């Protein structure tokens, strides 16, 4: 008796899918390792779509201004500056007026977002509003290749953009102004790297906040949901294809090694039910940081958010206790 036609269709579909996952994609990555950049940064995923990033007030942000900076020849990045909820009165709505307001002594949050989307992402905007209501300046950029920024992302490139913006701020406000670097997800790798470099240069941030961070790119890629089809093949094959491609493209975001050279107060925020970056990777990073400061007075804090609250990977802005936690850390460096 002949098998039903639908059975052949199902078998064919499974066969093709399996071939694509286990042969096609690895082959593409092997021969075109630069494709791994798209998989890591996901900068081609733009949500919300069709937005004008030169009009941040349309996202309910006020007062706010949009501007652009050239971080190196041919690379121009888009930036938003959101004023504290009770700012120094602006005499006019110009870039110079916003620059003057930066020097009013209130804390400045340099926000470094994760992969995919733009600085206008919903969860990002909700956090900006919380930080504004705490009377902080918020500076948010889209790295090269994201949003309205030109260029192509790489670890070296986006970290250059972030450190350029930090130093631009320092020139505006002086060495004693409180600048807090805040990195979420992929941005935690950027934040850790630039904070290490800045501390080694003697220009350490006032505070470092890492939200839903990971220990290294290799660790997070290995356990990321997009990698799940490859959990069932020998690990050395996965490493040979994917991890070799990452190494070829200079992607490490090795925060677990870099964090030991960050000397400013550190706070890690992580939800236990994070479904993208496992809670255990945040713990691993915390333990490395904590061990490194056993012989110093540097403060290191790990704030856990319980499961079942709907916070997951990017919605800690929903936590009612978050404003008080941030306020105390920014003010005192402790909890």
Known catalytic residues are: 185, 274, 313
CA atoms 319, 324, 327, 332: torsion sign: negative
Cβ–Cβ < 8 Å for 182, 110:
yes
Q: Report how far residue 45's alpha carbon sits from residue 146's, in angstroms, rounded to the nearest whole number.
A: 9
Strand 108-112 and strand 137-141: the pairing is parallel
Q: Cis (ω within 30 of 0) for the bond into 63? A: yes
Q: In terms of Cα–Cα distance, which of 226, 151, 192 is closest to 300? A: 192
Q: In the β-sheet with 300-305, what is the strand arrangement from edge to edge? A: 64-72, 75-82, 137-141, 108-112, 179-184, 207-211, 266-271, 300-305
DSSP letter for 111, please: E
In whole angstroms, what separates CA 71 from the centre of its chain? Answer: 18
Cβ–Cβ < 8 Å for 313, 303:
no
DSSP letter for 59, please: G
Q: In terms of Cα–Cα distance, which of 123, 63, 71 is closest to 93? A: 63
Q: Report how far residue 227's alpha carbon sits from residue 233's, in angstroms, rounded to the nearest whole number.
A: 11
Q: If you write DSSP's letter for every residue of 269-297 in order, what string do you get?
A: EEETT-SSS-HHHHHHHHHHHHHHTTTS-
Strand 75-82 and strand 64-72: the pairing is antiparallel
Q: Report how far residue 213's alpha carbon sits from residue 256's, in angstroms, rounded to the nearest whole number.
A: 10
């Amino acid at each position: 008796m002949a098998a039903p036609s639908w059975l052949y269709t199902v078998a064919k579909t499974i066969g093709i899918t399996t071939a694509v996952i286990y042969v096609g994609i690895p082959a593409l990555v092997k021969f075109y390792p630069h494709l791994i950049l798209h998989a890591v940064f996901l900068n081609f995923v733009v949500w919300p779509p069709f937005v004008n990033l030169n009009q941040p007030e349309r996202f309910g942000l006020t007062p706010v201004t949009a501007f652009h900076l050239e971080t190196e020849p041919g690379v121009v990045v888009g930036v938003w500056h959101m004023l504290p909820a009770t700012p120094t009165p602006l005499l006019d709505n110009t870039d110079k007026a916003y620059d003057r307001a930066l020097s009013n002594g209130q804390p400045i949050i340099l926000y470094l977002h994760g992969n995919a989307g733009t600085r206008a992402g919903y969860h990002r905007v909700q956090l900006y509003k919380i930080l504004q209501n705490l009377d902080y300046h918020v500076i948010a950029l889209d790295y090269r290749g994201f949003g309205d920024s030109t260029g192509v992302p790489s670890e070296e490139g986006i970290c250059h953009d972030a450190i350029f913006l930090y130093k631009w701020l320092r020139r505006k406000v002086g060495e004693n102004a409180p600048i807090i670097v805040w990195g979420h997800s992929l941005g935690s790798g950027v934040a850790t790297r630039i904070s290490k470099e800045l501390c080694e240069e003697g220009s350490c941030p006032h505070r470092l906040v890492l939200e839903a961070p990971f220990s290294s790119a290799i660790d997070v890629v290995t356990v990321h949901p997009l990698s799940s089809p490859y959990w069932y093949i020998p690990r050395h094959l996965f490493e040979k294809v994917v991890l070799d491609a990452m190494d070829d493209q200079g992607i490490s975001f090795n925060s677990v090694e870099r964090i030991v050279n960050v000397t400013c107060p550190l706070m890690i925020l992580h939800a236990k039910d994070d479904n993208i970056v496992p809670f255990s990777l945040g713990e691993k990073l915390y333990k490395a940081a904590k061990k490194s400061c056993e012989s110093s007075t540097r403060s290191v804090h790990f704030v856990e958010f319980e499961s079942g609250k709907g916070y997951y990977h990017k919605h800690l802005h929903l936590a009612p206790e978050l404003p008080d936690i941030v306020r105390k850390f920014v003010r005192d460096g402790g909890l």
